[in-house]
Amino acid sequence: MNLNLIDKLGPKTEKILNKINIFTVEDLLTYYPYKYNIIKFKNINEVDENLSYYIKSIVVSDVKVSYIKKNFNRMTFIARNNGNDFNVVIFNRAFLKKNLTINKNIVLIGKYNKLKNTFVASDIKFNIEEEKIEAIYHLTEGIKNDSMKRFINDALKLKVPINDYVPEIYNEKYKLINKEDAIKLIHNPNNINDIKMSELKLIYEELFIYMFKINYLKSINKKTKGLKKEFDENIIHDFLNNLSFKLTTDQEKTIKEILDDLKRETRMNRLILGDVGSGKTIVAIIALLANYLSGYQGAFMAPTEILAKQHYESLLNYFSDYNIKIDIITGSLTKKEKEKIYQRLKNNELDIIIGTHALLSENLIFNNLGLIITDEQHRFGVNQRNLLQNKGAHGQADVLYLSATPIPRTYALTIYGDLDVSQIKTKPNSRKEIKTKVINEKNIKEVLLKMLEELKLNHQIFVVSPLIEQNEEIDLNSVKLLKEKMNIAFNNKVPIEILHGKLKQQEKDKLMNDFQSGKIKVLISTTVIEVGINIPNASMIVVFNAERFGLATLHQLRGRVGRSDIQSYCYLITKDVNNERLKVMEDSNDGFYISEKDFEQRGQGDLFGVKQSGDMTFKIANIKRDYKILYQAKIDSEKYLSSGLFKGNSFYEKLIEKINFLD
């Protein structure tokens, strides 16, 4: 339903709401509060003068009103709370005078000035509830919490038909309230129990739909025929024997699983979970080789241009002795250049194409695509991945996803339940542990000295500051100041650059290229560098305000160094040297261990980069906080699906329609 059905919601406000992804009345209804202010009554002698309170009081004097101007009046009286008498001042409420008789019970809302013994009220209420709960929404410039509340309450009055996607058996089993009530109550709870009941319903529903989708896809995938591939395994063994390093056990195991998948008649649908630096790329390369040897084209998609280029260069390098035709396609190519690639792909003149989202263009048609690899899969949504999949020969191409989200295995099997999962836990042997140190902000000198030491060895350094992304001039200044300080410390002899979100893509790419080629020695940046970039010569990462980052991010950041056999260092700078998370980082380099810890600390927050995935942006559920419900939803949806009883009924159809809509 169109937003203009809401009273006083004009085109200007609509634009503002669009910014926070509200486009329809339905979107308004499911724009849930992110927290509640629970207003409890206080006694007048307990309040903090700066805050507003609800004070239960009795009127103990006559009420005086003075009219200061037309439409501006001031009312005063004496009230009593908990045996204390105080003055009350309130403006423009003269119309309440007739209700304020002596001994009347009222609730005053406002702030208390102790010195003047005066309470400046913003409002007076007569119906005395036990506590008041106020829904608080994420807002954007130009919209206030009160207007958001009003829009939502108006939307509720429109009686939009609301679908409940929880099968009746589970609504009964868990005594879930009905969906309509849940939506009403989540916006207007009368008490804590209302919040709990409405959240439970909406969280369960969201996770049920998600797990239903996963299980549904799984059942379909099982049935999908694939391309049965035949290739000479000796060639692959020769290739492996010529590598300059020995594969780790988990790399070997994973390669075997992939080769078996390729030979099988069913379609491969496999996810490789490996920590940063665990060597996933070589595994992907073997898959591409086997696919090529079977006579098919291969596609390798990466989330950024830099990563795509990196893979392209690796492939050229690894396949230099083979007659494999490889090219790369990214957004920065001209139309002409792209068209040339389209032509070559269509005519089977290219064997392997690497690229960014540019691979998804509908003009790009393969001759016989047999394998699709998606790097950093969590950065792409399901629909994007499907787009590529549909380009496969007979829609049957094998699919491989690479992910640097080392999450606990049982957990992976739940949220990625539609895929087969391989884990690469072992790290290449030559790899040294990254020495990690938590440093008090005050001891920054120690860090600068260490940086200088590394620079003298001709190594490079990442510096990360969370401040840059916060948009404020002042923050950018503080980073510039940091650069100045470093320039002084290093005698202006070290090329230092700042990379931040406000720069144009081209400028960012140039900085990254210059860092990669060694022209820049110290790169100060935000978490932009989080994604897979490989700079083996970088031996140190310094993270400022480290306590602000979650374990997942810290681990990903640290993974930017230690990518060769030089000893690497990670310095975590903070005011809060006793921070639990930072201690975990000091203790371990093992992503799977750190993710277990992250999981144990549970609560809010992201589970190791999983949040970023396009298909897991839940409106209310948090798969880490709500993991028990997630497991239950997994079991329930499996049962529901396999029972088959519901097929053909309208409820089931609605559910299928719903999951087809989801990205």
Question: How far apart are alpha carbons 533 and 536 in whole angstroms?
Answer: 10
Angle at 185 between CA 13 and CA 203, to 5 degrees: 95
CB of 611 to Mg ion, least distance (A): 19
Residue choice 294, 377, 422, 534 for contact with ligand ADP (CB under 6 A): 534
* Residue 195 interacts with which of Mg ion, ligand ADP, none, CB < 5 to 8 Å by class: none
Residue 279 vs 392, nearer CB to ligand ADP:
279
CB of 371 to ligand ADP, least distance (A): 17
Q: Are 402 and 377 in contact (CB under 8 A)?
A: yes
Total residues interacting with Mg ion, rule: CB under 5 A: 1
Closest-CA residue to 589 (of 432, 402, 408, 403): 432
CB of 427 to ligand ADP, least distance (A): 8
Is 245 a binder of ligand ADP (CB under 6 A)? yes
538-543 and 460-464 strand pairing? parallel
Burial class (CB in 10 A: 0-12, 13-18, 19+), 50: exposed
CB of 280 to Mg ion, least distance (A): 5
CB of 54 to ligand ADP, least distance (A): 54
Residue choice 189, 226, 370, 532 for contact with Mg ion (CB under 5 A): 532
Residue 201 vs 563, nearer CB to ligand ADP:
563
Residue 318 vs 549, nearer CB to ligand ADP:
318
Is 254 a binder of ligand ADP (CB under 6 A)? no
Question: How far apart are alpha carbons 58 and 512 in whole angstroms?
Answer: 68
Per the DSSP assignment, residues forming a β-bridge with 326 are 352
Question: How far apart are alpha carbons 510 and 500 in whole angstroms?
Answer: 13
Is 591 a binder of ligand ADP (CB under 6 A)? no
Residue choice 207, 276, 341, 345 for contact with ligand ADP (CB under 6 A): 276
Is 563 a binder of ligand ADP (CB under 6 A)? yes
Residue 226 vs 277, nearer CB to Mg ion:
277
Residue 110 vs 536, nearer CB to ligand ADP:
536
CB of 532 to ligand ADP, least distance (A): 6
Residue 23 vs 245, nearer CB to ligand ADP:
245
Closest-CA residue to 269 (of 217, 229, 231, 304): 217
> DSSP secondary-structure letter at 519?
S
CB of 569 to ligand ADP, least distance (A): 18
- In the bound complex, which residue of the shown chain has the CB atom lying closest to Mg ion? 532
Residue 406 vs 532, nearer CB to Mg ion:
532
Place of tokens 């709500």: 626
Q: Which two tokens stand for residue 170?
A: 């589970």
Cβ-count burial 135-169 (b if 16+ within 10 Å, e if not): bebeeeeebeeebbbebbebbbeeebeeebbbbee
Closest-CA residue to 75 (of 53, 59, 92): 92
Residue 155 vs 533, nearer CB to Mg ion:
533
Per the DSSP assignment, residues forming a β-bridge with 542 are 463, 571
Closest-CA residue to 539 (of 513, 525, 518): 518
Residue choice 248, 254, 269, 595 for contact with ligand ADP (CB under 6 A): 248
CB of 253 to ligand ADP, least distance (A): 12
Residues that bind ligand ADP (CB under 6 A): 245-248, 251, 274, 276-282, 404, 428, 430, 532, 534, 563
Residues that bind Mg ion (CB under 5 A): 532
